[in-house]
Amino acid sequence: MRLYQRKRRKDPEKRKEDSDRMREIRRANPEMTKAINKKCYDKDPEKKKARSKKWRAINSQRCWASHTISSHKRKGYAVIITIDELIKKAKEIKTCLYCGRLIDYTSGNGLNKNSPSLDRINNGKIMEMNNIQIICHHCNASKSSRTHDEFVQYCTKIYKQFGEINEG
Ligand SMILES: [Zn+2]
């Protein structure tokens, strides 16, 4: 049996099949998963913490997407976007649409100016794929409840008032 398992592990296709099946089992049995996780944690908390940190770094878009969707739902927004759709979008969006700043998905939610932020293009509409964009946390805070056009008008107004300032 062990030899058979070892053979399976060497085959990437089969390894993926196994891990998909395990994921399904874990999802279907949350209590069991919790117990296993706790057992691993109790055995070696440092190792477990290091592993989950590594996992979060590799899966930063996934972490951000699932956290963002659930936090928006918790706040009462109607969200009809799946985690996978948002992950796909996050993998495409590397810089902020407005300021061009690099977006850092590992930095978490709204923690610093490079953090990604989910914005509705039109705040009057619900969160669906064709009404959202990923911009930096700072720009989203400035944009506030404005629509895309209103925000650009607002920035233009400020620019007209103060003109260009040399960045020091
Ligand atoms: Zn920005």
Q: What is the pLDDT of residues 37-82, one digit of tens each?
A: 888 888 888 988 888 888 888 899 999 999 999 999 999 989 999 9
Q: Does 35 score more than 60 pLDDT?
A: yes
Q: pTM of this prediction?
A: 0.71
Domain 48-168, what architecture? 2-Layer Sandwich (3.30)
Contact 113, 148 (CB under 8 A): no
Give 131-144 pLDDT, tens digit per residue. 999 999 999 999 99
CA 138 / ligand 1 centre spacing (Å): 6
Output the six-digit token pair for 137.
Answer: 């946390």
Say how many Å lie between the CA of residue 129 and the centre of ligand 1.
Answer: 20
**Whole-angstrom distance, CA of residue 3 vs CA of residue 34:** 29
Domain ranges of the chain: 48-168
- Residue 119 CA to ligand 1 centre (angstroms): 11
Q: What is the DSSP letter of 125?
A: S
Query: What are the structure tokens assigned to 102, written together?
Result: 């690099």
CA–centroid distance, 81 to ligand 1, in Å, is 22
Rounded CA-CA distance 48/120 in Å is 37
The 3-state DSSP class for residue 36 equals helix
